[in-house]
Amino acid sequence: MLKLYGHLFSSYTWKALIALYANDTPFEFRGIGPEGSDEDNAFVHAAHPAGKFPILRDGETTVIEATSIVEYLAAKHPGPAPLLPADALTARMLDRVFDNYVMANLQRVVGAYLSNTEVGNTPTVGEPDMKELEAGQAGLRRAYAWLESWLGDHRLPPHVSLVTCAAAPSLFYADWVEPIPADCPRLAALRAELLALPPVVSCVEDARPYRGWFPPGAPERD
Ligand SMILES: N[C@@H](CCC(=O)N[C@@H](CS)C(=O)NCC(=O)O)C(=O)O
C-alpha cells in the first residue's frame, strides 16, 4: 500500500493528493504536524533535505518533492488520467511556473505573517512584514499576467495532469492573498474550472476544518 505523508491543509500535499484521487489509486494518508505521530514526523524530517512534505513511500522506495511524486505515480501507478500528457514538456514548464512564481509568492506572503514568530513556537500571527507581503503580492500579479497571456495562445490538457496538480492548489490559495484581477478573466475561469474537478473538490473539503490556521486569514468563500 502506498503511503502519503503530508497535511490536508498543505498546498503541496494537494499536488500529490489530486494525482492519487484522479486515478483512484489506493493509498494510506499519514497526517503529520501536531496531529501526526512522532515517528511519522521524524520520518519526514529525515527523508527530505528541508523536512518538507509531501513524501510518498512505495515499499522501500521514498519519493520526495511533489512534482516528482506526480511523475512517479504517472510512471509506476498509471490510471485513467494520464498525469503526464502527450505534451509533457509544456506540462513540466507550467508546473515550474506554478511552483516558482505562484506557489513561491503565495508562501512569501504567508511567510510575511509568520516572520516575527520565534522558531519552535506555535505560530502566532502578528503584524506582517510589509516589505515581504508587498513583494509576494507583486510577484503574484506578475505571474497572473504572464499566465493570462499564455492562456490566450494555448490550451491545457483536457484531463487531470501534472498541470492540474500544480495549478489547482497554487491558484486556490494565491487568490486568497492576492485576488486574481478583473483583467485576467481566463485565469479566473481556469481557477473556477479546477475547483469544480472532483479530485480538487475532495482536497478543498478535506482542508476546510483547518482554514482557521491560514495566517493571513481565510476569506468567507470557496
Ligand atoms: N519543493 C517542495 C515544497 C514543499 C513545501 O513547501 N511543503 C510545505 C507545506 S505546503 C512544508 O513542508 N512546510 C513545512 C516546512 O517547511 O517545515 C515540494 O515541491 O514538495
Region class of 147: left (phi > 0), else alpha (psi between -120 and 50), else beta: alpha
Interval between CA 47 and ligand 1 midpoint (Å):
13
* pLDDT average, residue stretch 116-133: 72
CB atoms within 10 A of CB 221: 6
Instruction: Answer whether 95 contacts ligand 1 (Cβ < 6 A).
Output: no
Instruction: Answer whether 53 contacts ligand 1 (Cβ < 6 A).
Output: yes
CA distance 208 to 222: 10
Interval between CA 182 and ligand 1 midpoint (Å):
30
Per-residue pLDDT tens digits for 171-196: 999 999 999 999 999 999 999 999 99
Residue 119 has pLDDT above 60, yes or no: no
* pLDDT average, residue stretch 30-41: 96
Q: Which of 4, 7, 9, 12 gets mutated to test ligand 1 (max ligand atoms within 8 A of its CB)? A: 12
Instruction: Answer whether 186 contacts ligand 1 (Cβ < 6 A).
Output: no
Q: Answer yes or no: are the C-beta atoms of 5 and 44 closer than 8 Å.
A: yes
The region of weakest confidence among 64-68, 118-122, 151-155, 199-203 is 118-122
Instruction: Answer whether 27 contacts ligand 1 (Cβ < 6 A).
Output: no
Instruction: Answer whether 21 contacts ligand 1 (Cβ < 6 A).
Output: no
CA 89 to chain centre: 20
CA distance 155 to 168: 16
Q: Answer yes or no: are the C-beta atoms of 16 and 69 closer than 8 Å.
A: yes
Q: Pinpoint the alpha helices (H) of the chain.
A: 11-22, 38-47, 66-76, 88-97, 104-114, 130-153, 162-177, 185-195, 198-207
- Place 157 in a pLDDT band, splitting at 50, 70 and 90: confident
Residue 116 has pLDDT above 90, yes or no: no
Residues 6 or more apart in contact with residue 122 via CB below 8 angstroms: none
